[in-house]
Chains A and B, each alone.
Chain A
Amino acid sequence: MKYRVKFWVNEEPVELEVSANRTLLNVLRDELYLTGTKEGCGAGECGACTVIVDGKPVNACLVLAPELDGKHITTVEGLAKDGELSPLQQAFVKNAALQCGFCTPGFLMSGTALLQENPNPTREEIVRAISGNLCRCTGYVRIVESIEEVAAQYKGGAR
Chain B
Amino acid sequence: MKEFAYIRPKTMAEAVAARRQHGSRAVVMNGGTDIVIQLRERLIAPDYVIDIKGVPGLREIAYDPKEGLIVGACVTMNELGEHPDVAANYPWLAEAALSVGSKQVRNRATAVGNIVNASPLCDVGTPLYAANATLIIAGLMGEREVAIEDFITFVRKTTLGPEEVVKAIKVPPLRDARGIFSKVSRRSEVDLSSVCATVLKVGREFRLAFGAVAPTPVRLKATEALLNGQKLTEALIAEAAILAKTEVSPIDDIRASREYRLDVVGVIVKRSLSAWL
Contact = CB atoms under 8 A, between A and B. Distances in A.
Nearest to A21: B1
Contact of A47 (B36, B78, B104): B104
B6 A44 contact: no
B105 A44 contact: yes
A132 B103 contact: yes
B270 interface: no
Interface centre among A22, A62, A63 (most CB of B within 10 A): A62
Interface string B1-14: 11111101000000
Nearest to A109: B104
Nearest to A54: B107
B104 A67 contact: no
B6 A57 contact: no
Interface in A110-141: 110, 127-129, 131-133
A97 to B, nearest CB: 19
B162 interface: no
A128 B107 CA distance: 14
B32 to A, nearest CB: 6
Given A43-B37, A57-B104, A128-B103, A63 B32 contact: yes
Nearest to B76: A56
Interface residues of A, number: 29
Contacts of B32: 62-64, 67
A100 to B, nearest CB: 21
B103 A43 contact: no
Contact of A67 (B2, B4, B53): B53
Contact of B4 (A21, A23, A44, A62): A21
Contact of A62 (B36, B41, B103): B36
Contact of A66 (B3, B8, B40): B8
Interface in B33-54: 33, 36-37, 39-41, 49, 51, 53
Interface centre among B3, B6, B78, B189 (most CB of A within 10 A): B6
B190 interface: yes
A20 interface: yes
B59 interface: no
B108 interface: yes
Contacts of B41: 43
Contact of B104 (A43, A50, A64, A128): A50
Nearest to A55: B107
Contact of A44 (B3, B5, B29, B104): B104
23 contacts: A20-B3, A20-B49, A21-B2, A44-B33, A44-B37, A44-B102, A44-B105, A56-B107, A61-B36, A62-B37, A63-B36, A64-B51, A66-B8, A67-B32, A67-B51, A110-B103, A110-B104, A127-B189, A128-B103, A129-B103, A131-B190, A132-B103, A132-B104
Closest 5 CB pairs of A and B: A132-B102, A131-B189, A20-B6, A21-B1, A66-B6
Interface of B: 1-6, 8, 29, 32-33, 36-37, 39-41, 49, 51, 53, 78, 101-105, 107-108, 189-190
